[in-house]
Amino acid sequence: MSERKIIHVDMDAFYAAVEQRDNPELKGKPVVVGGSDPTRRGVVSTASYEARKFGVHSAMPLREAYRRCPEGIYLPVNMSKYRRVSQQIFDIFLEYTPLVENISLDEAFLDVTGSQRLFGSAEKIGREIKERIRKEVNLTASIGISYNKFLAKLASDLEKPDGFVVIDRSNFKRLVHPLPVKRLWGVGSRMEEKLHALGLRTIGDVAQASPLYLKKQFGVAGEQIYMLSQGIDDRPVVPEREAKSVGREITFPDDVVDEEVLLATLMQLVEDVGFRLRRNKCWGRCVTVKVRYAGFETHTRQAQLFRQTNLETEIYTEAKKLFTHLYDGRPVRLLGVTVSQLTFSEEQQLEFFEQERQKEQALAEVTDLLRQKYGRPLVMRARGLERKE
Ligand code: TTP
Ligand code: MG
């Protein structure tokens, strides 16, 4: 069996980079995307690397960002534009393999194992994709290549921004073993603390520990991190059209208590999920919201919708209800939204749609199309629509 070749692509400071690209005056400056008035409520979607030097990061309240970086340039979120760019980069990926798993607008796994005969080595494909994104989209991406998903993602992060790292069997130990344990998938703050208490600080430390001991300490999670520390990860790249669900979650760098920030973030997650559902011409019936509190306690709540949907308005209305049920006011560490019970056929669904909803469906599709083509903010999506309700 030939070794798998996985490429992980993650755009650098995505929303901010798009804004800097489209307005050269912003290049080299601290740009914060999230809202044009940082004295008002709102949350940072992302910050340019120049702004990160001031301690500004995603999911931080805008006011806090403004306190840390008053000289920053604050811009509203222009989702339609970022979606258009996202579509452009995904179109490039799909030229090299159908096995593209979208993680978010700016991040994907590509399984190029079978593409090498046609396009050359995975490394060559990776270089080509990076170069095409630079030339055709005028943005930088960080690329990681390895023999599984875990290592490919780790690799893309090692030299961010504008990184290009290949992890293979020969450099695996040198590159991966010195990294801190929290870089292992599944290690949150609580497990990190416990690992530290046991004297395990790096991935190499975990690799050296006995798997039985780790299992005793952490159960299945212990086995899993042991496998990862050995560079073993069998998870397949699942293209969205074969997926059982479409979801997105965010781990906040600092725990969040501000409900406004949480709802704004929920909205961002829903926008991403809705767009990806529509891009793949699929509908979902079940919405799940996940909230993880600071102490690592995790709650999920899900609801069946009256009918299938891929519309942000409908997903958000349900997600907000679920969130309100779940949220008890404690600091939140992670927030996630998933839509599941997917159907991919269009025809069967239509007869269940009412007139009104058909119109909205058509509108959403046309809007997506126009956004992809022209990238203009043609219609106010979910938020605006929600207010009317
Ligand atoms: P990320 O890839 O996490 O961040 P980034 O691309 O801005 O920066 P980098 O990868 O170089 O570290 O997220 C991609 C986009 O998703 C980001 O540009 C904005 C959006 N986003 C939010 O809106 N809220 C969030 O909390 C996060 C993490 C991202
Ligand atoms: Mg990114």
Averaged pLDDT score across all residues of the chain: 89
pLDDT digits (tens, 9 = 90+) for 70-112: 999 999 999 889 999 999 999 999 999 999 998 999 999 999 9
Q: What is the mean pLDDT of residues 233-238?
A: 95
pLDDT band at 280 (very low <50, low <70, confident <90, very high): confident
Ligand 1 pocket check for 11: Cβ under 6 Å? yes
Nearest CA to ligand 1 atom 11: 12
What is the Å distance from ligand 1's center to 210 Cα? 36
Secondary structure of the chain as H, E, C letters: CCCCCEEEEEECCHHHHHHHHHCHHHCCCCEEECCCCCCCCCECCEECHHHHCCCCCCCCEHHHHHHHCCCCEEECCCHHHHHHHHHHHHHHHHHHCCCEEEEECCEEEEECHHHHHHHCCHHHHHHHHHHHHHHHHCCCEEEEEECCHHHHHHHHHHCCCCCEEECCCCCHHHHHCCCEHHHCCCCCHHHHHHHHHCCCCEHHHHHHCCHHHHHHHHCHHHHHHHHHHCCCCCCCCCCHHHCCEEEEEEEEEEEECCHHHHHHHHHHHHHHHHHHHHHCCCEEEEEEEEEEECCCCEEEEEEEEEEEECCHHHHHHHHHHHHHHHCCCCCEEEEEEEEECCECCCHHHHCCCCHHHHHHHHHHHHHHHHHHHHCCCCCCCHHHHHHHC
pLDDT band at 253 (very low <50, low <70, confident <90, very high): confident
Which tokens go with 360? Answer: 């909205």
Pocket test for ligand 1, best of 10, 58, 89, 105 (most atoms within 8 A of CB): 58
Q: Is the pLDDT of residue 124 over 60?
A: yes
Q: What is the mean pLDDT of residues 341-350?
A: 66
Per-residue confidence (pLDDT) for residue 42, from 0 to 100: 87
pLDDT band at 373 (very low <50, low <70, confident <90, very high): low
pLDDT band at 371 (very low <50, low <70, confident <90, very high): low
Which atom in ligand 1 lies closest to the alpha carbon of residue 268? 23
Q: Is the pLDDT of residue 388 over 60?
A: no
pLDDT digits (tens, 9 = 90+) for 137-161: 999 999 999 999 999 999 999 999 9
Which tokens go with 68? Answer: 């840390």
Across the beta sheet with 31-33, what order do the strands follow?
46-47, 31-33, 73-75
What is the Å distance from ligand 1's center to 83 Cα? 13
End-to-end CA distance of the chain: 56
- Domains, the chain: 1-169 (3.30.70.270), 177-229 (1.10.150.20), 240-374 (3.30.1490.100)
Q: How far apart are CA 308 and CA 44, in angstroms?
A: 31
Which atom in ligand 1 lies closest to the alpha carbon of residue 49? 11
pLDDT band at 186 (very low <50, low <70, confident <90, very high): confident
Ligand 1 pocket check for 12: Cβ under 6 Å? yes
What is the Å distance from ligand 1's center to 48 Cα? 10
At a CB cut-off of 8 Å and minimum separation 6, what does 225 contact?
A: 181, 184, 185, 186, 187, 191, 206, 214, 218
Nearest CA to ligand 1 atom 15: 14
Residues in a beta bridge with 143: 9, 164
Per-residue confidence (pLDDT) for residue 1, from 0 to 100: 56
By percentage, how much of the chain surpasses pLDDT 70? Answer: 90
By percentage, how much of the chain surpasses pLDDT 90? Answer: 76
Pocket test for ligand 1, best of 21, 46, 251, 276 (most atoms within 8 A of CB): 46
Q: How far apart are CA 288 and CA 293, in angstroms?
A: 16
Give the ligand at the shortest distance from the Cα of 253. Answer: 1
Give the ligand at the shortest distance from the Cα of 48. Answer: 1
Nearest CA to ligand 1 atom 22: 45
Pocket test for ligand 1, best of 56, 60, 106, 276 (most atoms within 8 A of CB): 106
Which CA distances in Å does 196 have to 190, 192, 206, 227, 359?
10, 6, 11, 19, 56
What is the Å distance from ligand 1's center to 6 Cα? 21
Is residue 294 classed exposed, middle or buried when 0-12, 13-18 and 19+ CB atoms within 10 A define those classes?
Answer: middle
Nearest CA to ligand 1 atom 29: 45
pLDDT digits (tens, 9 = 90+) for 27-66: 999 999 999 999 988 899 999 999 999 999 998 999 999 9
Q: Is the pLDDT of residue 376 over 50?
A: no
Ligand 1 pocket check for 271: Cβ under 6 Å? no
Ligand 1 pocket check for 48: Cβ under 6 Å? no
Q: Is the pLDDT of residue 351 over 60?
A: no
Nearest CA to ligand 1 atom 27: 58
Active site residues: 107
**Most confident range, picked from 31-40, 238-247, 361-370:** 31-40
Which atom in ligand 1 lies closest to the alpha carbon of residue 11? 6
Nearest CA to ligand 1 atom 24: 45
Per-residue confidence (pLDDT) for residue 348, from 0 to 100: 47
At a CB cut-off of 8 Å and minimum separation 6, what does 359 contact?
A: none
- Strands 284-293 and 298-309, by their bridges, are antiparallel
